[in-house]
Structure 1
């Protein structure tokens, strides 16, 4: 199981949110590049970066900063937040970003995902499914659709998506443990696609259980920043 330490960017700083609430923000490192270098120095190979400003604004607000992380650290990077056009995706990939995560647009315009897959391939395109009470949240988690997470996952798999990031928004940043049942449901429902778990990690035991469920990877944010899980422990799982 691949571990992806998370860097969420807002106003140029690395932050953590509580349940996706922009009014409950904690700055974990004012220097985003410094945080990325810390991960690289510890032997971490792949990080998860979210452009929170971009998620709110619907554009790649922190594109230059994220591209700088790639050029200065050499880390593999997957990026989400504010992805609305094929040109944005092309620009990120040209800057060396390894994967681009499509979130809101997967619900609002499934054909956009299909076009992205055809143009860039399933290795570069990830669909992020963020859910509240099982229903998909969009626009930086500020809106909730009437689409349930399993239906969206099945629809996206049919058009060629092979990797999902699934987040239970109500667990994110809470240190209360992941929604294991949702990951089991996804693993049972999907026949070809893999799942990366995100949200609620609070201890190494969570990582063990997710590995047993069979997810392809897990994103770790607040558990690391609050000292619940160390970099050494993350590396043991394939950071």
Structure 2
């Protein structure tokens, strides 16, 4: 499916280039009009990232998040600075459908495994952000500032015992660049882990990118900047996915 994405920093819609807070572009959009249009067109889920919460959990944009939940009936998955069970409970109580767990997947593996058991695999998305070096898919954390020694394959295997279902995989080198997605990456992981519903993220700039990603076997494509900059419409994106 197509998952439109919105990142928010200090209440404003923004896109970062390769996760760099110093290299950002703000968008003056009417979010609520976008949500209304997406609902009408049949969008099934929205991806939100609270970048203020990512930097400092004390700055989580709760008022904005409440407003967004109130404004739409489209289910929303939310990421950004989710590090404790309390964080998860707050977001589920607000009405979010899924939470997206990033750095804690590495720094707090046992706890994340427990969350998968408590909330169930339909409620948790693991966000694995990778840098590919000599075809080794190394995971980066802490806003992509710290490279770990863990590979994507190791982490998916580790959590599979808890019936892991949703994985958002981003090739950092493609994120926010509009340079096209890493098709080979998604072909490899979709083929290797057939039980995982992968969400591809990063680099989509044209409709042919969506068609190529559908062929890899991923479950979903997250699209942010291309929709914000009107490179194609949500209607065109949905039709491209359905018709491929």
TM-score > 0.5, shorter chain as reference: yes
Matched, 1:219 2:222: yes
> Which has the bigger relative contact order, CA under 8 A and spacing at least 6?
1
Cα distance in 2 between the residues matched to 1:231 and 1:220: 10
Distance in 2 (CA, whole Å) between partners of 1:49 and 1:216 is: 18
Q: Would the aligned equivalents of 1:13 and 1:31 in 2 still touch at CA under 8 Å? A: no
> Of 193, 198, 218, which residue of structure 1 is paired with 2:196?
193
Counterpart CA distance in 2 for 1:116 and 1:218 is 25
Which runs of 5 or more structure 1 residues have no equivalent in the other structure?
A: none
Cα deviation, 1:164-200, whole Å, max 9, x if unaligned, reads: 0000111001111111111112112214221010000
Aligned length: 237
User: 1:6-155 counterparts in 2 under 5 A?
Assistant: 6-29=5-28, 32-58=31-57, 61-133=60-132, 134-155=137-158
Range moving further from structure 2, 27-36 or 131-140: 27-36
Shift of the 39–55 alpha-carbon distance from structure 1 to 2, 3 Å rule, reads: same
Following superposition, the deviation at residue 39 of structure 1 comes to 3.2
Residue 229 of structure 1: how far off its partner (Å): 2.1
**What's the secondary structure of 2:140's corresponding residue?**
strand
Instruction: State the Cα RMSD in Å.
Output: 1.8
Structure 1 residue 36: Cα displacement: 3.4
* Moved beyond 3 Å, runs of 4+: 30-43
In the TM superposition, residue 205 of structure 1 has moved relative to its aligned partner by 0.7
TM-score by length of 1: 0.92
Does the residue aligned with 1:228 lie in a helix, a strand or coil? coil
Indicate if the aligned counterparts of 1:4 and 1:47 stay in contact, CA closer than 8 A.
Answer: yes
> SS at the partner of 1:87?
helix
| Structure 2: gaps spanning 5 or more residues | none
Aligned equivalents of 1:147, 1:182: Cα separation in 2: 16
- Give per-residue Cα distances to partners, 1:189-215, cap 9 Å, x unaligned: 214221010000011111111111111
> What TM-score do you get using the length of structure 2 for normalisation?
0.90
8 Å contact from structure 2 (residues 117, 162) kept in 1: no
